[in-house]
Amino acid sequence: MPRPMKRRRVCCLPESSRFGPLDSQTNAGCIVNMTIDEYETIRLIDLEGYTQEECARQMNVARTTVQGIYNCARKKVAESLVNGKDLLIKGGEYRLCEGKEERCRCGDCWKHRCGRAQVRNKDNNSEM
């Protein structure tokens, strides 16, 4: 029986889920799908300056796992940049951090929640 995959903790969903070249109409249909957990490693390591060890702790997985996710994520970014493909960020084996979790030190899990668009729809009056 296969071991159930450990869900990776993600503290921050992307503000946008789709990126791509703005000056080209020729890439229709060329999409690179990045998962949310891959996105999180890019955010933590490349943007926040975490080491892979720190990133692994933050996401609650083994360092070797993070290494694999991160390599995969980088490759997809490169593929999008170099080959002019759209980057679509969605899916993956992750669970969203609820904030104030044990060992979570992001401190702003809720600040950057993507679902913000959905929150706005649900709660239109207070946000505007």
Q: Which residues bind Zn ion (CB under 5 A)?
A: 11, 97, 104, 106, 109
Output the smallest distance, CB 105 to Zn ion, in A. Answer: 8
Backbone angles phi, psi at 51, to 5 degrees: -80, 170
Q: Whose Cβ is closer to Zn ion: residue 104's or residue 119's?
A: 104
Pairing of strands 86-89, 18-19: antiparallel
User: What is the nearest approach in angstroms of Zn ion to the Cβ of residue 43?
Assistant: 12
Rounded distance, CA 11 to CA 44, Å? 10
C-alpha–C-alpha distance, residues 81 and 37, integer Å = 20
**For Zn ion, which is the closer residue by CB, 11 or 32?**
11
Residues 66 and 41: beta-carbon distance below 8 Å: yes
- Of the pair 46, 101, the CB lying nearest Zn ion is at 101
- Ranked by CB distance to Zn ion, the top (closest) residue is 97
